[in-house]
Structure 1
């Protein structure tokens, strides 16, 4: 059995909200779009359980259309409520075609509360604070990416209204990319109750909070790879059986999603994600995780949103290269829904950066170059286009520090 698939303009978040409300009640499934163009290969129907199709392009992969059943979306909402402070009212500050944005809408529907919605466009901390003050429920939530959180904390330093608004949330969920530890510490020192989330479109968004699986989510490490199971898993990829079979596997009667991330579980079951499995280079005979290098790099002043990619090297085989764009060097990538910011912090020199990385991860991990671009190439999701950056640094043309 199938149900209709309805394209909805994600530039109008309240339209997506109403479409999702109908989809969760058994109406047409929703396919949020960011423009007026509907691809010719987008089918008019989907399997009956599916309520939402999220189109996503991984930072190093090709576009995918993830099919999320209504039960999976509602299971994710219930797990979040159980891990946080129960049902509440949400502020939508993320684009409504991201799974993190649709999650805010689904959780609002499940809680029977009306979300406050920021106007699409550049993120403004003052507008964020004004929207927060309009929330009426005693339990309040927001979901941000690290760059937005950094902008809020920057504004809070000289605007008590922004500071009070940020502190009013029962939780501010932060995900979408690795959150620098320094940003986490800064937020908590400022009295902002943040929760770091891990998940993807394939898991109906975040299903691990601060390293701990929520609800009935299960985490296992198989051959170094993070695998996730639970009721919030996607049905698969629309029109791509081969990719579905590769990503979703059954083991001992349970269905698991193979994330492609490298990770470890502590003795008490806390997950640490090291980065992508395919982001390991062999430099001078030593394995180097680009994800770990990026984590250390982003702790350095002015490099909060830097990207680390691989590049060929005549002597060492492959080496890590740090790439930063002028907007990104502020920690604030210029993408829809993200902020602009005046004041560009000085970047560390390459010797200082190499020393910091080598001290944390060893000499083989030290970046070979620090490349500064006018701006970073971005995917439609707003994330850095790592494949484009890798091709760029491999050519040896960009300026280097």
Structure 2
């Protein structure tokens, strides 16, 4: 297999400078220059390979929210296909407010779309995301179409602030991805602005399904309840990953395909409905419980701001249903039995969390996704007695 050189693009801490450097690197890459790998510092570039498969445009790391990050080679053609299809689906080009780190696919593609369409990117002062920074950055954007991309945690922070809600309402399109947006938050956001729930990952060039409908050039099929994504936007390979991981990429019918770790189904309108990761299914007492359904039930309690549910190993039950809960600001959490009763009534006794911990925030990765490894550590450290609440 022929190869091309890979150039590390070292990004400074200043967000505006980083975007300027990255835009020039992307332009050169699209003009036939070397493949690029945006990295946060010179140290991160030391173990990059000197060459990558021919046709590669960028090397990006997966988020590592559940396991070790993997370097993913995305072809130049996949990047262009993704950007062009996204711009068409959004109804045309617009200026972008960058709220996500450019070293991961969602932030990188914000900058790449701007390069492809010849539009501008506005950054947050200091690079730190909060409601005040969002409002200030929005005020610096020029006239014309405005777009941004957010993850659910960011959406919640903006909706909790009156000034940020007003700023959010000025955007023509808001992409929300990285994780499912719970129904109450989606309803609140819909009252403020148009938004598009997206589905995708680094291996698919970022969001490749908008509002349940694949972008042009993208194909989705469900095999044994697992989502497979194929077509123009799919990555070519992982760099240096074990064969078991590499086998997720395959070719069928002349298309590149990627076998995700997500379960899914089609709704009555033939829109994709992601059902959570394979490892979100908790096997407790011989029954399989959906962590996502338990999270949804917990979010129905008025004082719950966010909930992360996962299974922990247990000698008696196989796995325990465990919940990490963040109460809404200004509220006092009630007894854990309120939460257990909500889940019991909606999903049955087997789904009731045996261990519940309260924290004032969900631990996040640099790309604002939930750090599930950190959540697991918090749950594992919870008092042992909480783990043994029997359900009939």
Q: TM-score, normalised by structure 1?
A: 0.86
Q: Which residue of 2 aligns with 1:172?
A: 174
What is the deviation of 1:314?
5.2
Residue 385 of structure 1: how far off its partner (Å): 3.5
Tell me which of 58, 63, 75 is aligned to 1:69: 75
Larger displacement relative to structure 2 (256-265 or 210-219): 210-219
Q: Secondary structure at the match of 1:278?
A: helix
2:208 alignment partner in structure 1: 207
Report SS of the residue matched to 2:125.
coil
Q: Flag the 1:370–1:241 CA change in 2: closer, same or farther, 3 A.
A: closer
CA distance in structure 2 between the aligned counterparts of 1:195 and 1:240, rounded to whole angstroms? 33
Q: State the superposition RMSD in angstroms.
A: 2.5
- Residue 363 of structure 1 deviates from its aligned partner by 2.1
- Answer yes or no: is the 8 Å Cα contact 1:301–1:348 preserved in 2: no
CA spacing shift, 1:270–1:137, aligned 2, 3 Å: same
Is the alpha carbon distance of 1:215 and 1:10 closer, same or farther for their aligned partners in structure 2, counting shifts above 3 Å? farther
Alpha-carbon distance change, 50 to 241 in structure 1, aligned in 2, over 3 angstroms:
farther
Other-structure match for 1:335: none
Aligned to 2:114: 108
Deviation larger for 355-364 or 173-182: 355-364
Separation of aligned partners in 2, 1:358 and 1:219: 35
Residue 195 of structure 1 and its aligned partner are, at CA, apart by 1.0
What runs of 5+ residues in structure 2 fail to find an aligned partner? 388-392
TM-aligned CA deviation for residue 243 of structure 1:
4.6
2:286: which partner in 1?
A: 285
Alignment of 1:23-38 (within 5 A): 23-38=29-44
Once the two structures are superposed, what CA deviation does each residue of 1:346-372 show, in whole Å capped at 9, x if it has no partner?
335322212222333332111112113
Q: Aligned-pair distance for 1:35?
A: 3.6
Change (3 A) 1:114 1:270: same
Kindly provide the CA deviation profile for residues 68-97 of structure 1, in whole angstroms up to 9, marking residues without a partner as x: 112111111111122112111111111111
Question: Of 104, 126, 131, which aligns to 1:125?
Answer: 131
Map 1:151-162 onto structure 2 (within 5 A): 151-156=157-162, 159=163, 162=164
Q: Once the 2 structures are TM-superposed, how far is the Cα of residue 10 of structure 1 from its aligned partner?
A: 6.0
Matches of 2:34 and 2:93, distance apart in 1: 26
1:145 counterpart (142, 151, 155): 151
User: Equivalent residues in 2 for 1:215-230 (5 A)?
Assistant: 215-230=216-231
- Which moves more between the two structures, 92-101 or 57-66? 57-66
User: Which structure 1 residue ranges, 5 or more long, are not aligned?
Assistant: 331-342
State the 1:297 CA deviation.
2.8
Give the distance between the partners of 1:374 and 1:167, measured in 2 at CA. Answer: 28
Deviations 1:76-127 (A, max 9, x none): 1111122112111111111111211011101101110121111344323233
What per-residue deviation string (whole Å, max 9, x for no partner) do you get for residues 186-239 of structure 1?
Answer: 11123x111111100011111111212121211111011011112011111122
Match of 1:135 among 122, 136, 141: 141
CA 1:106–1:300 in 2, change beyond 3 Å: closer, same or farther?
farther
- The SS at the match of 1:63 is coil
2:248 counterpart residue number: 247
SS of 1:305's equivalent?
Answer: strand
TM-superposition CA deviations, 1:326-353 (whole Å, max 9, x none) = xx545xxxxxxxxxxxx44333532221
User: How far apart are the structure 2 equivalents of 1:264 and 1:102?
Assistant: 29
TM score, norm. by length of structure 2:
0.88
CA distance in 2: counterparts of 1:300 and 1:32, whole angstroms = 42
Give the corresponding residue for 1:390.
376
CA shift for structure 1 position 154: 1.8
The answer (yes or no) to whether the contact 1:274–1:292 under 8 Å persists in 2 is: no
Offset at residue 299 of structure 1 (A): 4.4
Matches within 5 A, 1:36-55: 36-38=42-44, 40-55=46-61
- Name the CA distance, whole Å, in 1 between partners of 2:233 and 2:376: 33
Runs of 4+ in structure 1 over 6 Å off? none
2:188 equivalent in structure 1 = 186
Note if contact 2:6-2:37 (Cα within 8 Å) is conserved in structure 1. no
